[in-house]
Amino acid sequence: MLKNYIKFAFRNFSRSKNYALINIIGLAIGICACIFIALWVQNEITYDKNHENYDHIYRVLTKHYYGSQQSWGTGSPPAVGPAMKTTFPEVLNSCRLQNGTHSASVKYGNKLFKEELQMADASIFEVFTLPLIAGSYEKAFHNNHVTIISQEIAHKYFENENPIGKTLLIDNEKELEVIGILQDIPENSSIKFDFFAPLEILNDIYSPNNTKTWFNCSFNTYVILQPGTDHIDFREKTRTFITDNYPESDTEPYVYPLSKQHMYLYGYRGLVIIIAVIGGLILMIACINFINLSTSFAMKRAREVGLRKLVGAKRIQLINQFFVESILITLISTILGLALAEIFSSQFVSLTNSKIEIFSRNNLIYLSILPLAAILIGSLAGFYPAIVLSSFKPVTTLKQSTHRFGGRSILRKVLVTLQFVIAIILLVCTFVIINQSNFMLTKDLGYNKEHLVYVPLQGIIKDNPEIYRKALEENTNIQNITFLGRNPTEIWTNGSGWEWEEKPEDLDPFVTYQGVDTNYLETFQIDMLHGNFYDENSDATAQIVINESFAKVISDDNPVGITLHHEDDTFQIAGVTKNFHFKSAHHKVGAIAMYLNTNNDFKIVSFRYAYMRISAENMQETLKFIKHTTHSLTPDYPYELKFLEADVEKLYLSEVQTSKLITSFAFLAVFISCLGLLGLSTLITQQRIKEIGIRKVLGSTISQIVALLTSQFVKWVLIANLIAWPVSYYIMESWLRNFPYKITLSIWYFIFSGLIALIIAFGTISLNTIRAANRNPVESLRYE
């Protein structure tokens, strides 16, 4: 019997190719989009689950108190981890990583490259699951001159040689022996690196006690807690742990589960929810299409049902037939959806910056659910026409030349309206997110980021930057040169404890500070608000320049000349700059203090970068000159030049990725909706073909007939706008609250989205209605 049902189903498909094709394509695209989204969401929610101790690993964050204010930090002092392990029995193990990586030149034979070294304790291999494919990490526990590298780095330097036991030269000073090669780390892991180096190397780079202090929160600390330990109780137990060991501190440790790090600490939860909801909405649109078309087409077959009943077909047989046809379409759509997912997987990987493989072993368990989902969707879509049509009386259906929905058309109207509600919401969200992303990318930063390039200082030009400056100044296309200790997008040296006369007792501002030279202001084109930038001939013990935000904290008036005290240092405010962004626009401009880094008494971080403002003319020649000059002074170091504008753009990768994703899926949602409208308008136009012929005979024009046939669809889209606008406003208004600098939710976003939906819907429907209106009425009425 099943064989006959399937045969009859394919016979029906061949008779109504357009209906079958539209249904299959629409559902296949929806399934393809859902496969992509489901695998991406699964990738995000399983972050770090590759680590065996996933449920017991905690990151030590810090809470900082500044008078009546407080802030959170993701770093912690380097002394915390080892001390916790020896003090608290709940802590089984700990490891520390340098916050960020250390950029260094790496040489082996004739190969010289710039690499990012991850400085960490050897216990990182015990806390986290980082298996090796060659070598052993045991030697790392008692030797500070070793390294463990990734397979990619091993091939890059050693090609077909065995790297184990070979020595790499770091910054032309330190030799590190390769003792292991890492197995490829999963893409969805927070702990990813190509070059491991012992943390103690930082003591050689900065100071002998760099990894032992209780006040430098520039390290990431992770601990493994005993199974069964309540981390909330442990958090309370360790509240005063830092101040007990370092009374001058205003910092409190705060253990945070690794299981929540990616979604909550890094803020991906919102994006994952948005994309998951979009996936569900796209599938809903595809299913609405399928149900609408299945129901409409089934009504067209009312006479067939009546005839089959007359020749003895039972109701259960008719119900089974509709179910089989519906399930067959969903199964075919699922297969096509999988094929589309595989074909377009590279584009999706590029769009999401992920490494998702559709048919990987880890995904097979999720893909195996698809046939069951297809059967469920097919059953739901086939249920309504199967029950309704099988209940028709044969005599009634055979008397009518066509069968109309009558009261049951309410379902069709609701479903079509719901489709466009979803599509319009996605369109509004797309326009708002794109404009917010563009707003952040193009926002005035308070300095001119264009034509600013920088080169890391290495070797002789790091020890004596003025040699480099003089060599570069020979090129007139290099307009300004300044040296900095930190990249403007990566300034994290900060602290409290600033004092001045008449400062309120409960005020303790959190201030970021940056070491600069006298050319900083001119090179970055930052405007002064009060005073001067610096006067190197001044008799003041030390000068400092602050920004507008810091100035407002100190005084309502001009604060130039006020003396500031910080720890053992004394500064006099020489000038106040207008506010400029030294972090992304995700953060309000905070207080910043700039001191002359040429004064060794106050130097915190030595100069590490040379920033140059270059002319837009002859840019390529200028870049070649910079490369030649740098290489001639530092031949033993790899050359590296970057544009500051590219660094700024990286700060907004999340917004750019979100806007691209939503734009792509909004387009799919609208496209699937149009496919459904095309199919539905075709069936309804065919149903009213005789009415159209009669109207033409009675004198109706083509435009009147087109208006008649499209009016009901246009009405549904207008109703969809009225529903979608308040919903999308609420969603976007809530999303924009996360940004201190944001666009205004203009009514034009909603009107424009509604017009697009209306124009697309009208254009889609008109394809059929114009063709029907132009048809010769004799053809439709010849048998009447």
The label of the residue with tokens 């753009």 reads 649
Tens of pLDDT, residue by residue over 75-108, are 899 999 999 999 999 999 999 999 888 888 999 9
CA–CA distances in Å: residue 125 to residues 94, 180, 220, 222, 381: 10, 11, 15, 12, 53
Among 644, 679, 711, which residue terminates a domain? 644
Give yes or no: residues 317 and 396 share one domain: yes
How many other CB atoms are there within 10 angstroms of residue 456's CB atom? 22
CB neighbour list of residue 23: distance below 8 Å, 6 or more residues apart: 289, 290, 293, 294, 329, 333, 679
Q: Helix, strand, or coil here: 758?
A: helix
**Number of domains comprising the chain:** 4
Going by C-alpha positions, the residue among 531, 555, 557 that lies closest to residue 545 is: 531
- Let me know whether 600 and 698 are in one domain: no
More confident position, 407 or 484: 484
Q: What is the pTM of this model?
A: 0.82
Report the alpha-carbon distance of residue 773 to residue 703 in Å, rounded.
Answer: 8
**Comparing 606 with 407, which gets the higher pLDDT?**
606
One domain, residues 237 and 274: no
* DSSP H or E run through 751: helix 747-773
Per-residue model confidence (pLDDT) at position 483: 93
Nearest to 738 by CA among 582, 586, 590, 581: 586
Please tell me the distance from the alpha carbon of residue 530 to that of residue 469, in angstroms, as a whole number: 29
CB 713 within 8 Å of CB 416: yes
Overall average pLDDT of the 532-556 stretch: 79
pLDDT > 70 in the chain, percent: 89
Interval 710-757: pLDDT, tens: 787 888 889 999 999 999 999 999 889 888 899 999 999 999 999 998
In a domain, 69, yes or no: no
Residue 527 lies in a domain: yes
pLDDT for 303: 67
Torsion angle of C-alpha atoms 597, 602, 604, 605, degrees rounded to 10: 20
Cα–Cα distance between 683 and 689 in angstroms, integer?
A: 10
Q: Distance (Å, rounded) from C-alpha 199 to C-alpha 192?
A: 16
Q: What is the mean pLDDT of the chain?
A: 84
Residues 597 and 637 in one domain: yes
| Statement to judge: residues 664 and 679 lie in one domain | yes
Lowest mean pLDDT among 22-26, 573-577, 673-677: 673-677
Q: Are 317 and 5 in contact (CB under 8 A)?
A: no
Segment holding 653, helix H or strand E? helix 653-687
Domain check: are 108 and 40 in the same one?
no
Residue 536's pLDDT band, with cuts at 50, 70 and 90, is: low
As a whole number of angstroms, the distance between CA 334 and CA 32 comes to 8
Asked if the model's pLDDT at residue 290 lies above 60, the reply is yes
Helix/strand/coil for 647: helix
Range with the poorest average pLDDT among 86-90, 166-170, 589-593, 700-704? 700-704
**Cα radius of gyration (the chain):** 34
* pLDDT of the residue at 66: 66
pLDDT score at 540: 47
Looking at the fold, whether 386 and 460 belong to one and the same domain comes out as no
Q: Which long-range contacts does 318-322 make (Cβ < 8 Å, 24+ apart)? A: 318/386, 318/389, 318/390, 319/386, 319/387, 319/390, 320/1, 320/5, 321/5, 321/8, 321/9, 321/386, 322/298, 322/382, 322/385, 322/386, 322/389, 322/390
Give the neighbor-by-neighbor strand order of the sheet with 609-614.
478-484, 609-614, 452-456, 642-643
Residue 89 lies in a domain: yes
Cα 164 from Cα 273, distance rounded (Å): 45
Bridge partners of 210?
none
pLDDT score recorded for residue 448: 93
Q: Which residue in 667, 661, 682 sits closest to 23, CA to CA?
A: 682
**Domain encompassing residue 627:** 452-644
**Enclosing H/E stretch for 197:** strand 195-198
pLDDT score, position 259:
93
Q: Is residue 588 part of a domain?
A: yes
**Same domain flag for 157 and 208:** yes
Tell me the two tokens of residue 82. Answer: 């080892």
Given 579, 614, 644, the domain boundary residue is 644
Distance CA 214, CA 231 (A): 22
Stretch 37-42: mean pLDDT: 88
End-to-end CA distance of the chain: 39
In this structure, the answer to whether residues 658 and 636 fall within a common structural domain is no
**How large is the angle between the packed helices 2-15 and 17-45, nearest 10 degrees?**
110
Q: Where are the alpha helices (DSSP H) in 409-464?
A: 409-442, 460-463
Give the separation between CA 723 and CA 429, rounded to whole angstroms.
15
Give per-residue pLDDT as tens, 397-430: 655 555 454 444 677 778 888 888 988 998 999 8
Average pLDDT on 575-604 reads 79
Q: How does DSSP classify residue 616?
A: S
3-state class (DSSP) for residue 99 = coil
CB atoms near residue 291 (< 10 Å): 22
Give the closest residue to 402 by CA, choosing from 316, 326, 309, 306.
306
> Is 585 inside any structural domain?
yes
Q: Are residues 536 and 614 in the same domain?
A: yes
In a domain, 60, yes or no: no
Does residue 63 form part of some domain?
A: no
Which H helix or E strand runs over 134? strand 132-135
Mean pLDDT computed over 184-202: 89
Burial category of 579 from C-beta neighbours within 10 Å (exposed 0-12, middle 13-18, buried 19 and up): buried
Give the mean pLDDT of 637-665: 87
**Whether residue 652 sits in one domain with residue 630:** no
Q: How far is CA 666 from CA 150, 269, 433, in A?
A: 39, 20, 12
Q: What is the DSSP letter of 213?
A: -
User: What tokens were used for 50?
Assistant: 């590759």
Q: Is residue 71 part of a domain?
A: no
Please state, in angstroms and rounded to a whole number, the distance separating the CA atoms of residues 692 and 686: 10
Q: In Å, how far are 29, 116, 351, 585 from 355, measured between CA atoms? A: 21, 21, 11, 29
348: tokens are 């999706």
For residue range 197-224, what is the model confidence (pLDDT) as tens digits?
A: 999 888 877 777 788 888 878 899 999 9
pLDDT of residue 446: 92
The verdict on 484 and 613 lying in the same domain is yes
pLDDT band at 650 (very low <50, low <70, confident <90, very high): confident
Whether the predicted pLDDT of 569 surpasses 60: yes
β-bridge pairing 511-516 and 543-547: unpaired
